Amino acid sequence: MKILIPMLAFSSAGGMRVLSRLSTELIESGHEVEFLGPHFINKPYYPTLANVRVFSNVFHRIPVVRGIFNLIGMFLFILKHRKEYDVFLASYNLTAFPVALGALGTGKGFYYIQAYEPSFYDKTSFIGFFGYLMASASYFLPLRRIVNGKIYQSYKLLKAKCVVEPGIDLEIFKFSPRPFPSEEIVLGCIGRELAWKGTYEVVQAVKFVRATTGKNLILKVAFELPKTIALKGYDFIEMSAPHGDENLAKFYRGVDLFIAIGLLQDNAFHYPCLESLASGCIVVSNYGPASEINSLYVQQVTIERIVSQILRYLQLDQQALATMRAHAEHDVKAYEWSAIARKMLGSFASLR
C-alpha cells in the first residue's frame, strides 16, 4: 500500500510518536508511507523512515492566513495525487477536512483519532470555541474512522468501528522491576503543566501519604510541574528530563510505583501507563491498558483516590506484587509494534 499522512507540524506529542513509529513499521513490512506538510514544516521530532513531501504556501509569513492556506495546499495536493495513494490518513481535526474533501468519492480517506479532541478546548474564548466546533465537526466528515481505544468507539459525538492502539518496543521498554524496596520507596509520574493531566493531584497525594505514614516516599517527576507547585516547597520531588525512549525506559525502571493518571476520559489509552507496565512498575492508573488485575486501577481520579491506592500498594506483600506484574508483562505483549501495524492494515482493509 501507499499511504500519505498530512501534517501541519511535527511535535513531541505522543500522537506524533505513534505515527512516526507506525510509519517505520509499515515501511519495514514492505509498504510506502510519506508525510505531507507545507514547505516550511519542521523536521520530525521522532525518528522515522518515512519521507516528507511538501507543498508551497506563499503566505507562510502571515499568521492566520498561513494556516488557511496550509489546509488549502493540503487539499490541492491530495486532489492532484489521489490516484497515486491507497490511503490518505488524517490524524488531527484540522487535517481531516482537506483529507475528506480531497479524497471524496475514492474511499481512500481515513481518520486516525487518538483522543476526543473537543474536550481539550476552552469554550469560553473565541479561539477555543472555534477549535471545539472544528474538532466536533471533524467526526461527521465522510472519512473512515479508526480510534486508539475502545472507549472512543461510541463516545459522545464520535463513532468508530475499528480500534488500533499505539504500540511499544519491548526491546527498549524491558520488563525489569526494581528490587523490592526497603526504606526508600520511589514513586514516579510524567509531569505536565496542563491541569487535566493530574500532576498537581499526584504531588498532593504523595505529600499527604508521607505526612500520615512517615514513609520515605520519593517522587520522581519527568519533564515539568504545573505552575501551582513551587519545587522548593517539596523536598521529596526529584525532577528529570528523560528525552528519547532509551532514557524514558531507564526512568521507568528506577521507579517502584508509577502513577499514570489524568482527570479526563477514563479508560482512554495512555502511553505512560503502557510503558510503565511494560517496564515492571506497579502502576496506579485510570487509563488503558491498566486493568483491575495488572495494576492498581482507579476511576474518576481525585487526590483521595490516589492516596487510597498508594496506601494499598504499601500494604501489598511481595507475592501480590509479583502476581500483578506477571499479568502486566503478559498483557503488554499485545502492543508490540509488528502486531499494531498488522492491525492498522487490517482496519484499512475492513473499512473499504
Instruction: Please check whether residue 299 lies inside any domain of the structure.
Output: yes
Q: Are residues 190 and 330 in the same domain?
A: yes
Residue 147 pLDDT: 98
Q: Which three cell numbers stand for residue 158?
A: 464520535
Q: What is the mean pLDDT of residues 278-286?
A: 98
Rg of the chain over CA atoms, in angstroms?
A: 21
Q: Are residues 205 and 246 in the same domain?
A: yes
Q: Are residues 293 and 196 in the same domain?
A: yes
| pLDDT over 90, % of the chain | 97
In single-letter form, the type of residue at position 178 comes to: R
Instruction: Please check whether residue 141 lies inside any domain of the structure.
Output: yes
At residue 259, the 3 state secondary structure works out as strand
Number of domains in the chain: 2
Instruction: Please check whether residue 178 lies inside any domain of the structure.
Output: no
Q: Are residues 20 and 155 in the same domain?
A: yes
Instruction: Please check whether residue 191 lies inside any domain of the structure.
Output: yes
Instruction: Please check whether residue 19 lies inside any domain of the structure.
Output: yes
Q: What is the pLDDT of residues 285-305, one digit of tens each?
A: 999 999 999 999 999 999 999
Instruction: Please check whether residue 267 lies inside any domain of the structure.
Output: yes
306: domain CATH number? Answer: 3.40.50.2000
Instruction: Please check whether residue 120 lies inside any domain of the structure.
Output: yes
Q: Is the pLDDT of residue 12 over 90?
A: no
| Residue 308: alpha-carbon gap to chain centroid | 26
Query: Can you give the residue range of the structural domain that contains 296?
Result: 184-334
Query: Which residues lie below 8 Å from residue 292, measured CB to CB, with a gap of 6+?
Result: none
Instruction: Please check whether residue 175 lies inside any domain of the structure.
Output: no
Q: Are residues 290 and 346 in the same domain?
A: no
Q: What is the pLDDT of residues 87-125, one digit of tens each?
A: 999 999 999 999 999 999 999 999 999 999 999 999 999
In single-letter form, the type of residue at position 228 comes to: T
Residue 92 pLDDT: 97
Q: Are residues 329 and 248 in the same domain?
A: yes
Q: Are residues 222 and 132 in the same domain?
A: no
Q: Are residues 20 and 151 in the same domain?
A: yes
Closest by CA to 333, choosing from 174, 163, 164, 170, is 170
Q: Are residues 236 and 249 in the same domain?
A: yes
Q: Which three cell numbers stand for residue 334?
A: 499485545
Residue 181 pLDDT: 65
Q: Report d(CA 321, CA 236) in Å as an integer.
A: 24
Mean pLDDT value across the chain? 96
Residue 352 pLDDT: 86
Q: Are residues 127 and 193 in the same domain?
A: no
Which residues are registered as beta bridge partners of 38? 55
Q: Are residues 115 and 6 in the same domain?
A: yes
Q: What is the mean pLDDT of residues 216-241?
A: 96
The number of beta carbons lying within 10 Å of the beta carbon of residue 230 is: 8
Q: What is the pLDDT of residues 164-195, one digit of tens each?
A: 999 999 999 999 999 876 679 999 999 999 99
Q: Are residues 193 and 278 in the same domain?
A: yes
